[in-house]
Amino acid sequence: MPRNSLTFEVCIDTAAGYAACDGVVDRIELCSALDVGGLTPCPGLIAAAQDSAIPSHVMIRPRAGDFCYNTTDQKAMRASIEAVKQADLAGVVVGASKGDQLDLAALRELVDAAKGLEVTLHRVIDLVADPLAAMEQAIDLGIHRILTSGGAPRAVDGQATLSAMQAAAKGRIEIMVGSGVSASNLAELAQNTGITSFHASCSAAVPVAEHLHHFGFAKTQKITDRDTVLNFRETLDGLTA
């Protein structure tokens, strides 16, 4: 449960991320491949989530690239949702588009498959032509939460849209701000948008060994950083002190 009215979610793509977040965050978004925005995690990461007391919401994204999914993609996504249910985790994070709009037919099938889980609509909403209309569609689908940067690459540049979405939501759906969110801009985002739910990676870059880079096994490497997580939590708690 949140410590106060402000909610803190961290996205992780390693089992070690749970230790970095332990006792500090309200929710985990569990992914693989955060360097491409997050993909569906492997069974081993899902098993690690079962050992954590932090509620885990699993990214359901079968591949990098766009969010226009064919029938094979959608079948894989439904199978991943079933694995999350079998693991008895808290929720899933989904999205699908068709052109510059949400793919309502695909999303309806995913939401139906996720019955009994919390459902978050991910940042596919930042690519649609009308995010406020898409928000209404998400509400009609029974989605619980939207992760968004307000249609900008970084949330600080999408504050006008974020504020409009939060005002229009009127408590019918949770708006969670993400992308470039850090302790340094938390106060600005909270004050200017009225949003009370925040999503961050809280990651730090670590050196990559030259031979790993040379053989193509790693280009860059980031880890969930405990000190960054603690600083984010302390800053967040200070906003309501």
Q: Across residues 38-58, what is the average pLDDT? A: 96
Q: Across residues 170-187, what is the average pLDDT? A: 97
Instruction: Indicate the length of the chain as a whole number.
Output: 241
Ordered structural domains, the chain, with CATH: 7-238 (3.20.20.380)
Locate the DSSP E strands across the chain: 7-12, 27-30, 56-59, 91-94, 97-98, 101-102, 118-121, 145-148, 174-177, 197-200, 203-205, 222-224
In 171-225, alpha helices (H): 186-193, 210-214
Q: For position 4, what pLDDT does the model report? A: 55
Burial of 170 (0-12, 13-18, 19+ CB in 10 A): exposed
Q: For position 236, what pLDDT does the model report? A: 95
Per-residue pLDDT tens digits for 149-161:
999 999 999 999 9
| Whole-number average pLDDT of the chain | 95
Per-residue pLDDT tens digits for 128-139:
999 999 999 999
Residue 163, pLDDT above cutoff 90: yes
State percent of the chain over pLDDT 70.
Answer: 98
User: What's the pLDDT band for 214 if we cut at 50, 70, 90?
Assistant: confident
